[in-house]
């Protein structure tokens, strides 16, 4: 082995180790930042090693690509709003998938145009190229749709039509057939120097795989987005692994596998938090039959609601011993995190114990709400998980539900007919008092009514969350 190739391979090994160490450190808040830097150093090392170790003949495309990519990526990372984090991660997943798919495409073209220096394409190389293309293209187009849904460009509703799964299965079988055809045909076609039909089939594979990515994501509704973003994260890793198989490059295989595993774990956690199987998220029809049968025919109106004003809430909170705050995505939409923290700090200075309870699916991606609260300077050791507070929730004097709905819906515990049934919730209905801040009685993301709003110990404070919290804060200060 040539010395500089050897050095490059060893540098790749160091990169892979740095990625593993980095991910390990990401598992604790105190070391996470260092872990991320470690992984970034690993990446830089891999890039430098490639530029030194490979036979680079033309530099202008590389330099241009690196510059454009760095400026665009850096700009997005610097200025993205924390609420928009899920769609940006979704978009980045898509770019990763695209890059991996293009690597496979270039390798295919190298063979088909005779640049590879061999007329024979080994079957394993061919299979790797087809898989790399498939996973990369599905990740790319699926991520673009997920981005569009989260950004509000594409409808957040589940898009469904007759025979949807049958058509998807048909498309998938068609893709497998094309892949098989290409794998069998590629060596012979190149030897015969007529690559046009084969090439058309290869481009058709790209088109069909992109279409599959779109069709797989459009039937998934807004409430299930955390699962989809996690799953696409996993795909982007698998796409990188596939590109590694194509290039016979271990650092790609290892890094891709690490990301693939991490995405799968997060996907599983999200599914568990919603008490649903992955198949149910992808193929299920969530929220479609909901609502009607749930409330057993009774039509609830404002008259059934105990609606209160800010001063009532201020009184309740200021003289409570224990307060539990349940933030939901609506809090972030109203940009009320900072006001909320001010209120909680004030309560704490009065000797009230305040806990924030974050449901795993509170935001639009795993851990999203934690980031939004961190942005508002809420220390992470004040954040709790539902199972931490549920056992003692009956002793809590006041629960403050801000912009959350489905994650506090008692139907998930009591109503086997409900679509939410079995999903772990924060059982605020068992607390002494619960204040729900909401714009109106509209149903939540899952489109279901919530019995909690009509309970006797529930107070409803209607209005914009930021305004309401501001008014409560003023009232508390005067007490």
Partner 1 sequence: MTGTILISVYVFVLAMFVGFEVITKVPPTLHTPLMSGSNAISGISIVGALVIAGMGQGLMFDIIGMVAVIAATINVVGGFMVTDRMLQMFRRDTDTN
For the CB of residue 222, give the shortest distance to partner 1 in the complex, in Å: 18
For the CB of residue 237, give the shortest distance to partner 1 in the complex, in Å: 5
Q: Does residue 413 interact with partner 1 by CB under 8 A?
A: no
**Under rule CB under 8 A, which residues in 69-108 are in contact with partner 1?**
69-70, 72-74, 76-78, 80, 82, 85, 88-89, 92-93, 95-96, 98-100, 102-103, 105-106
Nearer to partner 1, 209 or 383 (CB): 383
Q: Which residue has the tokens 């850096």?
A: 74
| Alpha carbon distance 59, 182 (integer Å) | 33
Q: Does residue 183 interact with partner 1 by CB under 8 A?
A: no
| Alpha carbon distance 369, 17 (integer Å) | 31
Q: Which of 187, 213, 219, 263 binds partner 1 (CB under 8 A)?
A: 263
For the CB of residue 16, give the shortest distance to partner 1 in the complex, in Å: 8
The yes-or-no answer on residue 311 being catalytic is no
Q: Which of 4, 10, 13, 64 binds partner 1 (CB under 8 A)?
A: 64
Which region among 66-74, 322-330, 425-433, 469-477 touches partner 1 (by CB under 8 A)?
Answer: 66-74
Q: Which of 27, 301, 349, 440 binds partner 1 (CB under 8 A)?
A: 27
Half-sphere exposure of 233 (CA within 13 A, CB side): 23
Question: Which tokens is 386 given?
Answer: 């539902």
Angle at 76 between CA 73 and CA 81, to 5 degrees: 150
**Under rule CB under 8 A, which residues in 115-144 are in contact with partner 1?**
115, 122, 124-125, 128
Q: Which of 1, 2, 3, 55 binds partner 1 (CB under 8 A)?
A: 55
Question: Of 479, 476, 222, nearest to 333 (Cα)?
Answer: 222
Q: Does residue 195 interact with partner 1 by CB under 8 A?
A: no
| Alpha carbon distance 296, 196 (integer Å) | 63
Nearer to partner 1, 70 or 165 (CB): 70
For the CB of residue 305, give the shortest distance to partner 1 in the complex, in Å: 32
Nearer to partner 1, 270 or 461 (CB): 270
Nearer to partner 1, 107 or 419 (CB): 107
Question: Of 456, 277, 378, 405, nearest to 29 (Cα)?
Answer: 378
Q: Which residue has the tokens 């070391």?
A: 31
For the CB of residue 316, give the shortest distance to partner 1 in the complex, in Å: 25
* Contact in structure between 23 and 42 (CB atoms under 8 Å): no
**Under rule CB under 8 A, which residues in 309-368 are in contact with partner 1?**
358, 360, 363, 365-368
- Helix axis angle, 164-191 to 196-217, nearest 10°: 160
Site string for partner 1, 265-304 (x = CB under 8 A): xx--x-----------------------------------
Site size toward partner 1 (CB under 8 A) is 119
For the CB of residue 372, give the shortest distance to partner 1 in the complex, in Å: 9
* Contact in structure between 347 and 317 (CB atoms under 8 Å): yes
Question: Which tokens is 279 given?
Answer: 């198949």
Measured over the CA atoms of residue 277, residue 160, residue 136 and residue 116, the dihedral's sign is positive
Q: Which residue has the tokens 């049934």?
A: 421
Q: Which residue has the tokens 């990519």?
A: 69
**Under rule CB under 8 A, which residues in 421-450 are in contact with partner 1?**
none
For the CB of residue 433, give the shortest distance to partner 1 in the complex, in Å: 26
| Alpha carbon distance 329, 402 (integer Å) | 8
| Alpha carbon distance 302, 64 (integer Å) | 61
Q: Which of 406, 419, 429, 449 is catalytic?
A: 406
For the CB of residue 51, give the shortest distance to partner 1 in the complex, in Å: 6
Which region among 64-72, 209-217, 289-297, 449-457 touches partner 1 (by CB under 8 A)?
Answer: 64-72
Measured over the CA atoms of residue 346, residue 354, residue 438 and residue 223, the dihedral's sign is positive
Q: Does residue 257 interact with partner 1 by CB under 8 A?
A: yes
Residue 251 sits at φ, ψ, to 5 deg, of -65, -35
| Alpha carbon distance 80, 88 (integer Å) | 8
Nearer to partner 1, 46 or 290 (CB): 46
From the number of C-beta atoms within 10 Å of its C-beta (0-12, 13-18, 19+), residue 20 rates as middle
Nearer to partner 1, 253 or 431 (CB): 253
Per residue in 27-44, is it b (16+ CB within 10 Å) or e — as a string? eeeeeeeebeebbeebbe
Q: Which residue has the tokens 């007759």?
A: 162
**Under rule CB under 8 A, which residues in 34-53 are in contact with partner 1?**
35-37, 39-40, 42-43, 46-47, 50-51
Q: Does residue 58 interact with partner 1 by CB under 8 A?
A: yes
Give the active site residues: 406
């Amino acid at each position: 082995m040539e010395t500089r190739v050897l050095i490059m391979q060893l540098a790749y090994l160091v990169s892979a180790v740095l990625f593993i160490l980095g991910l390990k450190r990401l598992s604790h808040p105190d070391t996470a930042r260092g872990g991320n830097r470690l992984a970034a150093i690993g990446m830089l090392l891999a890039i430098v090693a490639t530029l030194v170790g490979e036979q680079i003949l033309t530099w202008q495309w590389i330099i241009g690509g690196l510059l454009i990519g760095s400026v665009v990526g850096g700009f997005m990372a610097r200025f993205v709003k924390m609420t928009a984090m899920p769609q940006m991660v979704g978009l980045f997943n898509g770019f990763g998938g695209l890059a991996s798919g293009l690597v496979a495409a270039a390798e295919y073209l190298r063979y088909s145009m005779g640049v590879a220096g061999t007329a024979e394409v080994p079957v394993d190389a061919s299979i790797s190229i087809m898989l790399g293309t498939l996973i990369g293209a599905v990740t790319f187009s699926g991520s673009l749709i997920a981005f569009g849904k989260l950004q509000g460009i594409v409808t957040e509703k589940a898009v469904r039509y007759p025979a949807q799964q049958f058509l998807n299965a048909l498309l998938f079988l068609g893709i497998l057939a094309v892949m098989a055809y290409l794998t069998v045909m590629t060596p012979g076609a190149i030897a015969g120097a007529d690559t046009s039909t084969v090439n058309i089939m290869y481009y058709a594979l790209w088109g069909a795989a992109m279409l599959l990515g779109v069709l797989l994501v459009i039937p998934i509704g807004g409430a299930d987005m955390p699962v989809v973003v996690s799953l696409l994260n996993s795909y982007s890793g698998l796409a990188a692994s596939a590109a590694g198989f194509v290039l016979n490059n271990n650092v790609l295989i290892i890094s891709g596998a690490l990301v693939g595993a991490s995405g799968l774990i997060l996907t599983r956690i999200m599914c568990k938090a919603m008490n649903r199987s992955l198949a149910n998220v992808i193929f299920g029809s969530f929220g479609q039959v909901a609502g009607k049968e749930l409330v057993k025919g009774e039509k609830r109106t404002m008259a059934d609601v105990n609606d209160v004003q800010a001063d009532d809430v201020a009184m309740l909170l200021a003289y409570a011993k224990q307060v539990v705050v349940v933030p939901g995505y609506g809090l972030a939409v109203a940009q009320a995190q900072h006001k909320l923290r001010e209120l909680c700090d004030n309560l704490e200075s009065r000797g009230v114990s305040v806990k924030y309870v974050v449901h795993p699916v509170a935001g639009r991606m795993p851990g999203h709400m934690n980031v939004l609260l961190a942005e508002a300077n809420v220390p992470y050791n004040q954040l709790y998980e539902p199972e931490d507070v549920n056992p003692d929730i009956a002793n809590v004097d006041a629960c403050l539900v801000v912009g959350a709905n489905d994650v506090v819906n008692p139907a998930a515990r009591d109503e086997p007919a409900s679509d939410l049934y079995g999903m772990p919730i924060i059982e605020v209905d068992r607390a002494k008092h619960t204040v729900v801040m909401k714009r109106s009685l509209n149903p939540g993301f899952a489109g279901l009514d919530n019995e909690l709003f009509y309970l006797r110990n529930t107070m409803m404070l209607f209005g914009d969350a930021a305004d309401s919290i501001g008014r409560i804060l003023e009232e508390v200060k005067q007490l």
